Structure 1
Amino acid sequence: MADDTGIYKFGALVCGTFVLVAAATFSFEADKGGPSRPKRAAPVQVESALTSVKAARTPRGTLVCTVQGSTRPLGDEVHESSGVAVSGAHAGIFWTHNDSGDPLLYAIDAQGRTAGTVRVTGAQVQDWEDVSRAPCPGGNCLFVADIGDNQAARPFVTVYRVREPAPGDTASAPAEAIRLRYPDGAQDAEAMFVLNGAVHIVTKGETGPIALYRAPVGAGPGAPSTLERIRNVTPDKVKRSERITGADASADGRWVAMRTLDDVVIYSAAELTGSAPLSPRRVSVKGLGEKQGEGIGFTPDGSMVLTSEGGKKEDPATFARLGCTQS
C-alpha cells in the first residue's frame, strides 16, 4: 500500500498467512528466535489474504516501488498492447505488440510515442500475449509468446525467438518458432518470462490454479516439446481481478514480477522456480486507471514499465512506470 508520498513497501510475515497491510511505509526485520515484526509500531489493518501457505522464512531483500507520474497514451496502432519488453540495445526504447492482427512489434519511447514498426519475419499471430527480452548467442533476443488460448483447445503454443531489431528496421531477422505443449492438456495463459536459459509460462488461473511451466530455450524447432509443470502458484482458481496477464524476470535473475488487472506481484525467483513456500509481495496499481492492464517489463535497474490495452475507441492503450529500489 502507499503512504502519503506514494511510496510502496512490501514484505512477508512468517509463522502465519501472508497478508497485505494498510499502514505507513515500513520494512520488516526478524528478531532472534521470533517472528518478523515491524521496525516501528503502526496500526495494521488486514486487507486480504494472498495465500494460505505459511512462509518458511523471511525472504531476503526488499523492493520499494513508487508510481512515476501518470499513464501515457500509446498510438492507435497499438490499441491492444498485451506485453512489453525493455530494449537491451537501444536506450529509452520499449517493445510492445497487439494480441491480434499482423506479426508486428512496435518500438515505443518513454513518452509512449511509436518510434518504429517491425514485422517479425516468419511469424504468425494466433494470440500474442507477452514479450520478453533475454540474452541469446551474440546479443539480445526478443521472445514473443503466442500462448493465448481462451478455449483451452490449442494442441501446442508457440514462442518466437528473434534477434532484437532496431526501431528503424522494417523487418526482423527470421524468427525461430519454439513450439511447446503442456503435459496435462491445453491451458489458457497470457504471461511468459525467460530465466536461466528457460522459457516460463504462467497460466491465468481462470479454470484452475495459477500454474508455472517451463522448457529450455533451445526446445524446437520441429515437433512440439513438452513443457515441465513446476508448481501451482495458487491453491485454486482465482477471481478475475487476480488472473495473471503478464510477467517478466529481472535482469539479475533475482525477481519475477507478475501482473494482474489491479496489482503487481513480486516473487523471489529462487522460491518461485523451486519448491519453497511462496512469500510474494504485492503492490496495487489501481490508481493508474488502466483499462485492462496486461504488460510488465523490468528495466536494467530493477524498476518496471507497465502497459494496458485500451478500452473503448476513445480510450487508448497506455504506458506507465514503476520506480523500484531493492536491497
Structure 2
Amino acid sequence: MVRIRLSCAVGLLVLGVTTACQDAEPAKHPLEMNDTSSASSTTSQTHPPDASQEATSIDDPRVAQSSGLARSYLHPGVLYTHNDRSTSAPQIFAIDASGTRAVLTLEAQAVDWEDIASTPDGRLWVADTGDNDGARSSIAVYVVTEPDVLTSSTLATTTYRFTYPDGSHNAEALLVHPTTHRLYLVTKDPVAGTVFVAPSELDPEGVNVLEPVADAPANVTAGDFSPDGSMLVLRNQGRAYFYRGFEDDPVGVTLPKQPQGEAITFEADGAHVLLGSEGPQSQILRLTVPTLPS
C-alpha cells in the first residue's frame, strides 16, 4: 500500500480548527513516495450496510450519475455534486437535505467529469480527467469560487490543463490539500493505481506536467483530504482506505454496497465521510472514520 506523508494544517479559521506540528524535514508536498508495503499490512475493518448510515439522497432527476461530492466551506450543510459523462452540460449542483439549492454553470467543457474538491478559500475544483479509452493528450481541472448566495448562475472559470509524463491515464479521484492547495490526481487501474501531484504553482496559460509520487489501491474512484489536512481517504467500489501520520499503513474499511460508488468527501467535523453513488435518486451514506494509529 501507498505510504503517506502529510503536512499539518495551521489556523483553519473557517472551520475553527487549529493544529500545530513540526516536520523532521521540509517536504515539497503532503504525499511522498516510499517503499511499497504489501497489501496484507492494511488494517481491515468492516462496516455492514445499515439504514442509520443514510445521510440524504439526490432526488433531482437532472443528477443521474453523481460522480463526485464536495462539502461547502461557505454554506453549512451544502454539498456540491456533478454528473459523469452522461451529460454535456458543465454544471455543478448545490444540494442539501431539502433538495437542489442552485445549479452553477461553468465556462468549461464537460468531456468526462470525475470528481470535485473544495478548499477553505472558497474554491471548487472540478476534475475533467476521465479517459477510459486512453485517447486524451491532455486533461483539465476547472476552478471556480463558491458564490456568496446560492442562486443558479454562470461562474467565471479558470482552466488548468495537465499532462502525464508517461502517456494518458484514466483518473477518477481529485484531492486538493486544504492549506497548501497542492493538487493530486489518482489513476484508476485494475491492479494498482498511481498518485500524481501537480506543480506547486499552476499555469493557466500552458500545460502543467504531473509527477508520480506514490502507489494507490486498485480501481480508485474518489478521494478527499480531511478539513485540517491531517488525513486523507481514497475509495473504490468496495473499500475505503484512510491514511494518517507520516509512514503509516492505511486502515481499510469495507463499504456498504452501492449501485456504483463514485464519490467520497469528509464532513466538516472530520469524523465522518459521505459516500455517493451514480444512479437516479442515489443515496448518500454517512460513515464514521475508523480509529487510525497515532
TM-score, L = length of structure 2: 0.76
2:72 corresponds to: 87
- The CA distance in 2 between the partners of 1:309 and 1:167, in whole Å, is 27
Q: Which letter does structure 1 place at the counterpart of 2:198?
A: A
Q: Does 1:282 align with 2:272?
A: no
- The CA distance in 2 between the partners of 1:128 and 1:51, in whole Å, is 32
Q: Does 1:118 align with 2:104?
A: yes
Q: Which letter does structure 1 place at the counterpart of 2:275?
A: L
Q: For the pair shown, which has the larger CA radius of gyration, 1 or 2?
A: 1
Q: Does 1:308 align with 2:284?
A: no
1:103 corresponds to: 90
Task: Check the 8 A contact 1:128/1:148 in 2, yes or no.
Answer: yes
Task: Check the 8 A contact 1:84/1:131 in 2, yes or no.
Answer: yes
- The CA distance in 2 between the partners of 1:115 and 1:53, in whole Å, is 42
Do the aligned partners of residues 167 and 115 (structure 1) sit closer, same or farther apart at CA in structure 2, a change above 3 Å counting?
farther
Q: Which letter does structure 1 place at the counterpart of 2:93?
A: Y
Q: What percent of counterpart residues are identical?
A: 33
Q: How does 1:167-206 map to 2 (within 5 A)?
A: 168-195=150-177, 196-206=180-190
Partner deviation per Cα, 1:177-205 (whole Å, 9 max, x = no partner) = 01110011110110010023211000112
1:117, distance to aligned residue in structure 2 (A): 1.1
- The CA distance in 2 between the partners of 1:169 and 1:145, in whole Å, is 23
2:26 corresponds to: none
Task: Check the 8 A contact 1:179/1:219 in 2, yes or no.
Answer: no
Match of 1:76 among 38, 61, 64: 61
1:29 corresponds to: none
Q: Does 1:158 align with 2:140?
A: yes
Listed as ranges, the gaps of 5+ residues in structure 1 are: 1-49
Q: Which letter does structure 1 place at the counterpart of 2:140?
A: T
1:165, distance to aligned residue in structure 2 (A): 2.4
Match of 2:203 among 181, 197, 220: 220
Task: Check the 8 A contact 1:145/1:192 in 2, yes or no.
Answer: yes
1:96, distance to aligned residue in structure 2 (A): 0.3
1:320, distance to aligned residue in structure 2 (A): 1.6
Q: Which letter does structure 2 place at the counterpart of 1:280?
A: P
Partner deviation per Cα, 1:25-69 (whole Å, 9 max, x = no partner) = xxxxxxxxxxxxxxxxxxxxxxxxx961686xx99xxx9989643
Do the aligned partners of residues 92 and 205 (structure 1) sit closer, same or farther apart at CA in structure 2, a change above 3 Å counting?
same
Q: Does 1:252 align with 2:237?
A: no
Query: Which structure exhibits the higher relative contact order, with contacts defined as CA atoms closer than 8 Å and separated by 6 or more residues?
Result: 2
- The CA distance in 2 between the partners of 1:110 and 1:321, in whole Å, is 13
2:7 corresponds to: none
Q: Does 1:291 align with 2:259?
A: yes
Task: Check the 8 A contact 1:162/1:175 in 2, yes or no.
Answer: yes
1:149 corresponds to: 131
Q: Which letter does structure 2 place at the counterpart of 1:298?
A: F
Aligned length: 248
Q: CA RMSD in A?
A: 2.7
- The CA distance in 1 between the partners of 2:149 and 2:262, in whole Å, is 22
Q: Does 1:321 align with 2:286?
A: yes
Specify the SS of the correspondent of 1:76. coil
